[in-house]
Chains A and B, each alone.
Chain A
Amino acid sequence: MTDVNGVDRTTAGIDVVELVGENDLSTSAQVERQIGEAISAGRGVVVDMTEATFIDSAVLRVLLSGQDRAATVGVGFAIALGTTTGHAVRRLLELTGLSERLVIATGRTEAVAKAAEANPASR
């Protein structure tokens, strides 16, 4: 079950959507809404999964559509993984080939920097 997923607003014009614990079909709509609200406000998005222990393909769909929408709107998007990211998260990204298609960084700081590169609010 998910812990509390939060959103942090950075000064770089990036909202960090933090996925903590487990996320799946039962929470993907919440994650989609958090990502969508940031993009609608013209802010870039980092999805911080450094503390995510589990995601399923419903969450993966939300990440992919979020990245596509961010690109359409012209704001940055990146995903942060870390040493505490769960094996199931990394395995799902690897099996689906999305580790190649999604913009992935090591740690939140690097992810925010990557997202900010494509984010007009920070330029």
Chain B
Amino acid sequence: MATDRQGFEIRVAAAAENVPLVRHALRAYLETVPMPEDRVAEVVLAVTEACANVVVHAYPDADGDLQVAADLDGDVVEVRVRDNGRGITPRVDSPGLGVGLPVMAAIADSIELGKANGSGTEVRMTFAVRDTASHPGSDSATLST
């Protein structure tokens, strides 16, 4: 793991018990940028959902890595969550509510899904460094069930 004012990167085994580790490390990094506490909590929530997707979906039959990187560029934090597995793919027996992606989209100012390193998936999210009250993302991720 490398943490400084310019960037953050961590790679762990894609296991549920490692998600808190990633979350705490990311929070420590975000506390070095001028981001309000409530906004940090929301960013950490969105990234946790992305990490949980990797743990649940990326490696159904094998072990693999979960990689999270973050950078501050001006007043925007960009976070990238990557796997080398099959990424976010439909799973009929998913243990989740299916709201992870909508929650990420509602919190982030932008979100892109793409291929990572030829295989796997990268979720790239940006978050403005600003107060939640001015954040337009009161979009909902309401359950449709």
Q: Which residues of A contact B140 (CB under 8 A)?
A: 94-97
How big is the A interface, by class?
20 to 34
B interface: dominant SS: helix
A interface: dominant SS: helix
What mask results when residues 51 to 89 of chain A are scored 1 for a CB within 8 Å of chain B, else 0? 000101110110010000000000000000000001110
Q: A56-B49, A57-B49 are in contact. Are A88 and B44 (CB under 8 A)?
A: yes
A113 in contact (CB, < 8 A): no
> Could you tell me the distance between the alpha carbons of A5 and B103 in the complex, rounded to whole angstroms?
25
Q: A61-B96, A95-B107, A96-B103 are in contact. Are A88 and B41 (CB under 8 A)?
A: yes
- Contact B99 A60, beta carbon cutoff 8 Å: yes
B18-47 at interface with A (beta carbon < 8 Å): 19-20, 23-24, 37-38, 41-42, 44-45
What mask results when residues 70 to 114 of chain B are scored 1 for a CB within 8 Å of chain A, else 0? 000000000000000000000000011101101100110000000
Q: A95-B140, A96-B141 are in contact. Are A87 and B42 (CB under 8 A)?
A: yes
A103 to chain B, nearest CB (A): 16
> Could you tell me the distance between the alpha carbons of A110 and B97 in the complex, rounded to whole angstroms?
28
Q: A1-B24, A25-B16 are in contact. Are A57 and B42 (CB under 8 A)?
A: no
- Contact B103 A92, beta carbon cutoff 8 Å: yes
> Could you tell me the distance between the alpha carbons of A61 and B102 in the complex, rounded to whole angstroms?
15
B142 in contact (CB, < 8 A): yes
Q: Which residues of B contact A87 (CB under 8 A)?
A: 37-38, 41-42
A33 in contact (CB, < 8 A): no
> Could you tell me the distance between the alpha carbons of A61 and B103 in the complex, rounded to whole angstroms?
14
- Contact B41 A57, beta carbon cutoff 8 Å: no
> Could you tell me the distance between the alpha carbons of A54 and B44 in the complex, rounded to whole angstroms?
9
A–B Cβ pairs within 8 angstroms, 26 of them: A1-B24, A2-B20, A24-B48, A26-B17, A26-B19, A56-B45, A56-B49, A56-B52, A57-B52, A57-B96, A58-B52, A61-B96, A64-B97, A87-B42, A88-B44, A91-B38, A95-B99, A95-B139, A96-B97, A96-B99, A96-B102, A96-B103, A96-B142, A97-B141, A97-B142, A97-B143
